Each structure stands twice: as structure tokens, then as C-alpha cells.
Structure 1
Amino acid sequence: MANIRKRGPGQWQAQVRKRGYPTQTKTFGSEQDALDWATVIEAEMIRRVFVSRSEAEATLIRDLLQRYESEVLPTKRGRASDRSRLKTLNHAFGTFRLASLTSAQIARFRDQRLQVVGPQTVVHELNLLNRVLRAATMDWGIALPTALPTSLVRKPKKPRGRDRRVTEEEIQRILAATESTELRAVVTIAVETAMRRNEITSLAWEHVDLKRKIAHLPKTKTDTPRKVPLSSAAMAALQSLQARSEGPVFTMRAESMSQAFERSCEPHRANVANVRFHDLRHEATSRLFERGLSVMEVAAITGHKTLEMLKRYTHLRAEDLVKKLG
């Protein structure tokens, strides 16, 4: 039952009591606002769909972002990138209360960000906001009376993936252009195994079985360990280095690895244009299919979780398909 009473000049308190529900109390600036609120709350209780808004109304988005950063982010691999995204979200929504956050506000944020950054960046930011809100409702017990507002916002279309194939002739020019034995091994392993850059830099000798020709990756981007078979070329690249019983295979860090690769591609060196280190993973994936491996076999090597993502990394040449058709 709803009860409205005046608490002082310009203050009206609404209170709703119903068996089976905690008493709900809120103060308003007018009697009509108090009555409207009480009517809605009481109707929801009667229909058995009431969810208390008190904690959501008292919680700032800024507090949720800070809690996510301190409790959840340390367990994530992409914490450096996500920490920067949290700052962006805090600037946009930090002063909002959780209960007041709407899909329309998030959509405006999306549209404004698209004027500054690319669609993929905005998708990452929206996904992070969704994870924060899910943590608040599922793990921290802060109830929302409606669906997550992020679930009602259309995400921008991702840009078309790169389809740059790196030819064997270009790879040989890159290998010849560098004086670094380590970079030559890195490029060869990237093309032969489809390992990600961070997987290559974290490769340890204790996880490389030269007899069985297998490299074990205990930590990957998808948090799923996998074993990667090593081709003859990949084996030769590893054997060109000074093998040890343990420790990192490569001394290069991920960023310096990409920089060294790009320097080797410069016009006065290998003269290979419009190529990035990550293109080697695309090239390797395509080559695995061209060698006749099945979808499941390729996915087991590359670590792709979905067929859609595997397709984004596969660029088969029409001329090669013609040869198969006969």
C-alpha cells in the first residue's frame, strides 16, 4: 500500500509497503511526483516484476568502472588497452547513475566517438562497457529494473579485414634485408605456424619439443592452451638459434619485433609496401588451407575459436582454386 506524506517545505515522501517485498521509500519535490512513483512501484509489485532500484540509483558509473579496474582487469590479458578504454568511458559516463543510464545515451556516445576513432575502436569500448555492467548485475548483485542498456544499442559495422597476401618472393626479400638472425627466425616461424605476435615473443624453450616437432603455448589470447606443429622450415628457424633447456626463445619484445619487421620492409631495404607483421598470420592461415588441411585442422593450429574469424584470416587465391578445379 502506498503512503504519501509531507516531510517539510517542498519535500514529499512516498512509501510503498507490500507483503513479500522490502519497504520502498523515496522523497520528491512535489506531491504528484511522489504519487506517480509510488503508483509505478506498487503496480510492479502487484505484477511480481518489481526490482529494487535503490542501489542502482545510488551507484555512479564511475564507481563501477573503478571497481572493474581493480578487481577484474588484473585477470585480463588485454588490461593495458582496456585501462585506456575505461578512461574514455569514465569521461563519457562517470557522473551518471547506473539507474539513469539509457540506450539512447550510449548510442549518442557511439555516434560521437565514430567522428573521432574507427568502428573497431568503438566496438571495443561498447563491449567493455557491457562487460562492466554485466559484472555489476551478475557478480556484484546490483539489480537493474530493465535489460542492460548496452544490449539495446546497435554496434557499428566492423571495417573490412585486411586481405594482403605476402608472397614468398617478398618474404625472401625481407629475410635477406635484415642482419638479425632472430628476426629471420621470427618471420619464418610466423609464416609457418600462424602464431600471434605475443605467442611468438612468449615462446619458451621448455615448451618446445624439437624431437616431436611441437611447440606448446600455455597462454594464448583466447586463454586456451594449444600445441602447434612445427614444419621443417620452422624447425630450421629454431635450430638457427642457440637452443637452451629453458627460458625465452626470443629476446625481442612484441613492439620491437613489429618495428624491426617494418624497418626491414622499408624502400631502401626489402622494398615491400603495405605489409604489417600481423599480415604474416593471415598469410600463414591461407597457406595451411592451400596445403590441403581441413577447417578443424587449421583451427587447431591457429587457435581461432569461430569459423567467422577463421574466414577473416583466410584469403585464397582464385588462380590456385582454378588449378584444383582442373
Structure 2
Amino acid sequence: MATIRKRGPYQWEVQIRRKGYPPQNKTFNTKAEADAWAAMTESEMARGVWISRGEAEDTTLEEALDRYENEILPGKKGAEPERSVIRTWRALKLAKRALASIRSTDVAAARDEWLKLYKPATILRRLAVLSHLFSIARKEWGMESLSNPVELVRKPQANNARTRRIAEVEQTTSESSDEADQGRGANEGELERIVATTGSTLLPSIIWLAVETAMRRGEIVDLRWEHVDLKRRVAHLPATKNGSARDVPLSTKAVATLQTLRDKRANRDARVTGRVFSIRSDAVTRAFERAVTRARKLYVDECREAQQRPDERFLTDLRFHDLRHEATSRLASIFPMHELTKITGHKDPRMLMRYYHPRAEDLAKRLG
């Protein structure tokens, strides 16, 4: 039987004691809420379907995020990007609420605010992390009563397919090619300009490896010297995004890049071991973005001095991951599809096609 008593002038306490179940205590602001909760709890106990909601009601989203970061994240390959997502959820007022009180309307409100500023793919990643947190809490943290509010939220349609290729030679719109060759930096492509303007000592080597090997950003920063065989021209990746190890063939330029880095390390250490690059994945992205911004500004200034109109596409809308697209498209002209999947690590050729973006003019040349 439930016992309801008044506590102070504004609160009502409910106590439920039933054989076979742990004692239940809960406080409400009104007697109507206390009666409703007591009736629901006793009914569930009588039907044998009662599940404790105590931990879900006492644990805030912020506390759950902290536990998720400490217990779940270390075992995930995409730990660093997810840590950034966790910080985003933790910064919301919603993080102060108990897990049991979070509804799909709360998640939908956050989604709508983010959609004003970010692309759908970013929102989908944030929703996926929250959804996994609720699943873990329900399955492994003893919060069986929790429902997953993300499951009922309408997901934005991701339209993030990209066909961005790297410009190898700067394009001009108002001058002939002979006149363009006389301009400053006329024979410099986008990557050369980015490398020239970066303040990072590591980014140039990372850029050339990315565009020569089609390795992912995380695979490059996790690369270790003991897995690099410059004589065989192979880099071994023991842990990749899709869970399978693979060997990546190294081009002449990739070998030269790694050899230069190894020679510099050998001058300091007798034995070259450990990570090739001492930098985090997110730091690579930030350094790349800063370098692109500086390179674009310098390019625009040069065009202004030469009284030329800047190409709107040159050094704009360029991301580090586009280097993997570029590398895949270049390698596709050398290797057949079944060999290319071994290099890029794609298990499904359909996924590989998202990274293969041949230029129409190159295809036209093959027609003769």
C-alpha cells in the first residue's frame, strides 16, 4: 500500500512498500502528482512489469555524458570527434536535466537550433552520439525504464556528397594562358599554396601523404614508424575505421616525404620508433583550415595587385577530407576497382564510388 504524507507547506511524499520489491520513495509538489505516481507504480508492481526508474531520474544528462566519455569512448575508434560532440551536448541547458525527464521534443528543439548554423551531417552525428548514450544507459547501466528520445526525432536529410577536386594549376578568367604564366604563383596549385602559407611544421607532410595514399586523417596521425617499411614501400595500418587492418602502398613522393621525416628523427634519436606525427586529428583540421584561409587571402591580394579577377572556386570550400577524395580519384586512373578497395579500405564498392570523382575533361580525352 502507498503511504502519502505532507512534507512542509508545499510538498507531498509517497512511500510504497510491497513484498518482492525494494521500497520506493518520491516527493512531489502537488498531491495529484503524488496520487498519480503511486497508482501507476502499484499497478505496475501488481502486473509484474515494474522497473525501477530511480537511477534514470537521479542521473543528469551531464553526469551520463561524463560516464560515457570515461567508460565507452576510450574503446571507440572515433573517440576524438565524439569527444567534441559530447562537449556540445554538455554545454546545453538540457544537460542539467535528469535522463528520465528528457523527451523527444527537447532533442527536436536542439536539432532545430543547430540546423540554423550547421549542415545536416553535423546534426546527425550529434544525434547519433546521444542515441548511443541512451542505449548504453538502458542496456548496461541498469536504467531499463529509459526510453530513447532520439528514436522519435525526425532526422535531417544529409546531402553531403562532395565532388570537390584539388586544383593543380591556378585558373584565371580574364587573361590568356600566356599572360597567366607571367603572374605571381601562376603555376602553383591549391595544395602548393596551402603548404606555403601554413605555420605548422607537420601539416605539409600530412597533406602530401593524404593526397598520395588516400589514407584517412586519423590513420595518418596514428601511423607509427614500426609499421612503415620504406624499402617495400608499404605502410601497415593495424586498426582502421572499418575494423580491418590493411597495407597501403606508398608512391615515390610518399616515400620521399616519410624518408625526410625519418632522417630528421634519426638525427635526434638513434632508434626511430613511435608515432610519425605528434599531433591530434582535430589539430590537423584546424591547421588545414587556417592555412586555406591564409592562402585564399594571399591569392586574392595577388589578383588585386595584378588587376585580375580571383577565381571564386580557387581555395574555397576546401576540407582536409577532400584530399582523400582527390587521392582516390587519382588512384582510380591507375588501379582497377577491386585493387583500389584494398588501398582505400572500402569494403563496399558503392561506398568507394562516393570518393571517385573523375573530371569530365579527363574522361573525354579517353574517348579519342
Normalising by structure 1, what TM-score? 0.77
What is the deviation of 1:239? 4.7
1:299 aligns with 2:341: yes
The answer for the alignment partner of 2:232 in structure 1 is 212
Q: Which moved more, 1:22-31 or 1:200-209?
A: 22-31
The answer for the alignment partner of 1:88 in structure 2 is 88
Q: Which moved more, 1:178-187 or 1:19-28?
A: 178-187
- The aligned amino acid for 2:2 is N
The answer for the alignment partner of 1:59 in structure 2 is 59
Distance in 2 (alpha carbons) for counterparts of 1:164 and 1:134: 36
> What is the RMSD of the two structures over their aligned residues, measured on CA atoms?
4.0
- The aligned amino acid for 2:102 is L
- The aligned amino acid for 2:133 is V
> Cα deviation per residue 1:37-84 (whole Å; 9 max; x = unaligned)?
233233334544322112212222222123233444455565555444
What is the deviation of 1:215? 0.5
The answer for the alignment partner of 2:188 in structure 1 is 173
- The aligned amino acid for 1:314 is Y
Distance in 2 (alpha carbons) for counterparts of 1:122 and 1:160: 12
Distance in 2 (alpha carbons) for counterparts of 1:278 and 1:93: 32
Which of 316, 320, 326 aligns to 1:283? It is: 326
What is the deviation of 1:309? 4.7
What is the deviation of 1:184? 6.6
Q: Are 1:261 and 1:277, in contact at CA under 8 Å, matched by a contact in 2?
A: no
User: 1:139-288 maps to which residues of 2 (within 5 A)?
Assistant: 139-145=140-146, 147-167=147-167, 169=169, 173-174=188-189, 186-221=206-241, 224-239=244-259, 243=263, 246-247=272-273, 249=276, 254=284, 255-256=286-287, 259=290, 266-267=298-299, 268=302, 272-274=314-316, 275-288=318-331
Q: How many residue pairs were aligned?
A: 321
> Cα deviation per residue 1:272-310 (whole Å; 9 max; x = unaligned)?
53344432210111233333422x543332234666653
* Structure 1 unpaired stretches of 5+: none
Q: Are 1:119 and 1:156, in contact at CA under 8 Å, matched by a contact in 2?
A: yes
The answer for the alignment partner of 1:122 in structure 2 is 123
Q: Are 1:185 and 1:240, in contact at CA under 8 Å, matched by a contact in 2?
A: no
Distance in 1 (alpha carbons) for counterparts of 2:80 and 2:157: 24
Distance in 2 (alpha carbons) for counterparts of 1:240 and 1:87: 38
CA 261–98 in structure 1, closer or farther in 2 if over 3 Å, else same: closer
Q: Are 2:295 and 2:315, in contact at CA under 8 Å, matched by a contact in 1?
A: no
The answer for the alignment partner of 2:354 in structure 1 is 312
Q: Which moved more, 1:47-56 or 1:296-305?
A: 296-305
CA 262–191 in structure 1, closer or farther in 2 if over 3 Å, else same: farther
> Cα deviation per residue 1:181-206 (whole Å; 9 max; x = unaligned)?
98776544322310123433443433
- The aligned amino acid for 1:63 is E
Distance in 2 (alpha carbons) for counterparts of 1:101 and 1:320: 53
- The aligned amino acid for 1:165 is R
SS in structure 2 of the partner of residue 312 of structure 1: coil
Distance in 1 (alpha carbons) for counterparts of 2:100 and 2:167: 54
Q: Are 1:299 and 1:305, in contact at CA under 8 Å, matched by a contact in 2?
A: yes
- The aligned amino acid for 2:110 is F
CA 325–16 in structure 1, closer or farther in 2 if over 3 Å, else same: farther
SS in structure 1 of the partner of residue 235 of structure 2: strand
CA 44–240 in structure 1, closer or farther in 2 if over 3 Å, else same: same
The answer for the alignment partner of 2:307 in structure 1 is none
What is the deviation of 1:28? 4.1
